A = this chain, B = another copy of it.
Amino acid sequence: MNEIDQITAALIKFRNDRDWAQFHNTKNLAVALSIEAAELNELFLWKTTDESEQVDAQKIQEELADILAYAFLIAEKHNFNVKQIVLDKIKKNTEKYPVEKAKGSAKKYNEL
């Protein structure tokens, strides 16, 4: 079993042991993920860019793990292959952000 399947299996076991699948519809999982994303952001709130890099790695790690957990659960629910969907998106973005136009620019594709 590959790495992501192992992580997903651990998440599903944790969930099923608690009978929580009943709460894990896609809409709820997406809200849960965005709440965890806000908790990650809260670690850097009011801090400068530099100060943000000094935040306790343990705290970042835990919030990021929560985000990843919900992301893997959504992927599992929809039978997405995580590697494939990220590589597909990179391919799509390669067209939206051609190197010659996007290099060094933070502009959105529709403003390039």
Chain A contact residues, CB within 8 Å of chain B? 2-4, 6-7, 10-11, 14, 17-20, 22-23, 25-28, 30-35, 37-49, 52-53, 55, 57, 60-62, 64-69, 71-72, 74-75, 78, 80, 82-83, 85-90, 92-94, 97, 99, 102-106
The count of identical subunits is: 4
Given A3-B3, A48-B49, A68-B68, 15 extra CB contacts under 8 A: A7-B86, A7-B87, A14-B93, A18-B99, A30-B37, A30-B40, A30-B44, A31-B31, A31-B45, A35-B38, A35-B45, A37-B38, A65-B86, A67-B67, A69-B90
Which label, helix, strand, loop or mixed, suits the secondary structure of the A interface?
A: helix
